[in-house]
Amino acid sequence: MTNQSAIARNYCRVSDVERIHRHLIHLVSAAGGSISGIYYCPHLPDEGCDCRKPRTGMVESAREELNLPDGGYIIGDADSDMELGRRAGLKTILVLTGRGKDQIRKIELEDFTRPWKIAEDISSAVEMILLFDKTSNP
Ligand SMILES: [Zn+2]
């Protein structure tokens, strides 16, 4: 789930974003994984849509379209991901890649949504989830 206001700003087209998503799906699939869905918000921050993170519209769409149960996890590198997780009832993992390293400095600030866990990267985050699921559902 990503905010892609570059579309509304005309920095790129929907077709560009969707081409990148197809490429990502191909890469993950070639590595033996799978992606059930990619959701993005093409709107500007001040448009008031319900899909721009940290609003929960994309999670609600995914839950409905992919028939997902309540709960689950969100891995992200930004406060908006952590706040989306809090609002949508997801366990949140902040990764220290991408913007994460800068975001972690803000964790002590009042306005940063404290993550459930912090991981070095997405692989570590996935290991945390697998371990947590294993120990909580043996
Ligand atoms: Zn939106």
pLDDT for 131 equals: 95
CA of 87 to the centre of ligand 1 (A): 16
Tens digits of per-residue pLDDT, 74-90?
999 999 999 999 999 99
CA of 114 to the centre of ligand 1 (A): 24
Predicted TM-score (pTM) of the model is 0.88
pLDDT for 101 equals: 82
CA of 48 to the centre of ligand 1 (A): 8
Set out the domains of the chain in order of their start, with CATH numbers: 1-68 (3.40.50.1000), 70-138 (3.40.50.1000)
- On whether the CB atoms of residues 43 and 51 are closer than 8 A, the answer is yes
CA of 61 to the centre of ligand 1 (A): 12
- On whether the CB atoms of residues 100 and 94 are closer than 8 A, the answer is yes
Q: pLDDT confidence of 66, banded at 50, 70, 90? A: very high
* Distance separating alpha carbons of residues 47 and 119, to the nearest angstrom: 32
Residues in the chain: 138
pLDDT for 81 equals: 95
